[in-house]
């Protein structure tokens, strides 16, 4: 499948067009609604107070509950916009945002309200596309599960699941705050609230585990499994880094510890560890594919900052007003799953 996301944060609607959806695929709207609800804003004091239903209206590609095989288009209406909050900042480059780079790229014609097409709001149609991809993967026995691994330096259980049964993540998706250890989750929430009270923000790390992919999928080089996943991850706003398996910690290990010994057990080839995240030479080895992404702190903060007027090129000060998330990590978990599902559909040729 191929997808294209369109729309702006404060436009009439945002949406996505999916091409190559398998004809006859049952489009389970109850499942899709559940996925959308995991991401939508305004559900608690940890998120932006902006209220959006995030209900998907399908315009084409579905007939009598099944995909037709023609382009599938779904839109999500924007209903709770306050564009006036952004008028004073029309020419001020907000630190950490794409205001300046977008202003140059689009010659000043881009929609600046709510960050326009650069907003995290566009991840809503991405979740819809990813939900369709999950329905496709389900038919092949592939599951995609993610959790919060860390927020503000506070870690969930320390294992990165490289040596654990991935079923440990089952049930996490049903939580409003997707961690395995709820006690550590409460500490993370306290850190988010503290940053909010101080008009600041925090970031974190999301870990994703993809199970059920057979060995031999993918190809070396630019189209490796890591490459396809990375391409999709960096299409998600706020993602600034990715690692596979044990990732950057491999730099502090010896080969004797970093290598994953193969064995044959219960009619299957597997490895005793999974430091390489289920991928060797850009190709799956049959173990769960494990990766983590870094989500930067939300760029919109209320603290005064130094910046520049993009028209006059004069120095200026800015204190961002409006409704913003003090942390987007917990809402980004279903987004990362969606992007991963779309990537694995590409890897598997689905």
Asked if residue 160 belongs to a known ligand binding site, the reply is no
CA 7, 204, 80 angle in degrees (round to 5)? Answer: 30
Q: Are strands 262-265 and 143-151 parallel, antiparallel or unpaired?
A: unpaired
24 to 74, 230, 344: CA distances (angstroms): 17, 30, 20
Predicted pLDDT at 159: 62
Which residues does the chain have with pLDDT short of 50? none
* Chain Cα centroid distance, residue 232: 9
Q: Are strands 289-295 and 239-244 parallel, antiparallel or unpaired?
A: antiparallel
Q: Which residue in this structure is represented by tokens 């630190």?
A: 95
Asked if residue 300 belongs to a known ligand binding site, the reply is yes
Write the DSSP assignment of 303-336 as a string of letters.
S-EEEEBTTT--EEEE---S---S--HHHHHHHH
Asked if residue 70 belongs to a known ligand binding site, the reply is no
Asked if residue 299 belongs to a known ligand binding site, the reply is yes
Predicted pLDDT at 128: 96
Asked if residue 296 belongs to a known ligand binding site, the reply is yes
Asked if residue 311 belongs to a known ligand binding site, the reply is no
Predicted pLDDT at 46: 79
Q: What is the pLDDT of residues 4-14, one digit of tens each?
A: 999 988 888 99
- Full set of structural domains in the chain with CATH: 2-348 (3.60.150.10)
Asked if residue 121 belongs to a known ligand binding site, the reply is no
Predicted pLDDT at 82: 66
Residue 96 CA to residue 80 CA, distance in Å, equals 24
Q: Are strands 72-77 and 57-60 parallel, antiparallel or unpaired?
A: antiparallel
Residues 6+ apart with CB under 8 A from 21: 1, 61, 67, 69, 72, 132, 136
Residue 14 CA to residue 108 CA, distance in Å, equals 21
Query: Cα torsion at 199, 206, 183, 41 (round to 10°)?
Result: 50
Tell me the whole-structure pTM to 2 decimals.
0.92
Asked if residue 267 belongs to a known ligand binding site, the reply is no
Q: Are 22 and 136 in contact (CB under 8 A)?
A: yes
Asked if residue 281 belongs to a known ligand binding site, the reply is yes
Predicted pLDDT at 206: 96
Asked if residue 140 belongs to a known ligand binding site, the reply is no
Asked if residue 55 belongs to a known ligand binding site, the reply is no
């Amino acid at each position: 499948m191929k997808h294209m996301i369109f729309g702006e944060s404060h436009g009439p609607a945002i949406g996505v067009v999916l091409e190559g959806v398998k004809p006859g695929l049952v489009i389970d709207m109850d499942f899709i609604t559940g996925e959308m609800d995991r991401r939508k804003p305004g559900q608690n004091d940890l998120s932006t107070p902006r209220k959006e239903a995030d209900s998907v209206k399908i315009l084409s590609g579905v007939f009598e509950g099944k995909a037709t095989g023609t382009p599938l288009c779904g839109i999500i209406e924007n209903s709770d916009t306050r564009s006036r909050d952004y008028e004073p900042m029309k020419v001020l480059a907000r630190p950490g945002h794409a205001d300046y780079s977008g202003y140059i790229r689009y010659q000043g014609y881009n929609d600046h309200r709510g960050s326009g097409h650069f907003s995290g709001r566009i991840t809503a149609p991405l979740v819809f596309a990813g939900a369709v991809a999950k329905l496709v993967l389900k038919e092949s026995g592939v599951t995609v599960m993610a959790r919060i691994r860390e927020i503000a330096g506070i870690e969930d259980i320390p294992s990165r699941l490289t040596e654990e049964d991935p079923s440990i993540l089952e049930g996490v998706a049903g939580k409003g705050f997707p961690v395995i250890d709820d006690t550590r989750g409460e500490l993370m929430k306290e850190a988010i609230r503290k940053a909010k009270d101080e008009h600041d923000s925090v970031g974190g790390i999301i870990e994703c585990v993809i199970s059920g992919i057979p060995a031999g999928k993918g190809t070396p080089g630019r189209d490796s499994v890591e490459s396809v996943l990375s391409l999709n991850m960096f299409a998600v706003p706020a993602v600034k880094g990715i690692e596979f398996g044990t990732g950057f910690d491999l730099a502090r290990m010896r080969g004797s510890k970093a290598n994953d010994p193969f064995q044959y057990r219960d009619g299957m080839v597997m490895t005793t560890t999974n430091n390489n995240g289920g991928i060797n030479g850009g190709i799956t080895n049959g173990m769960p594919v494990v990766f983590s992404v870094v989500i930067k702190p939300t760029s919109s903060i209320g603290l005064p900052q130094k910046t520049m007027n993009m028209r006059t090129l004069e120095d200026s000060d800015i204190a961002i007003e409006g409704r913003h998330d003090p942390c987007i990590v917990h809402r980004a978990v279903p987004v990362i799953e969606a992007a991963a599902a779309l990537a694995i559909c590409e890897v598997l040729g689905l």
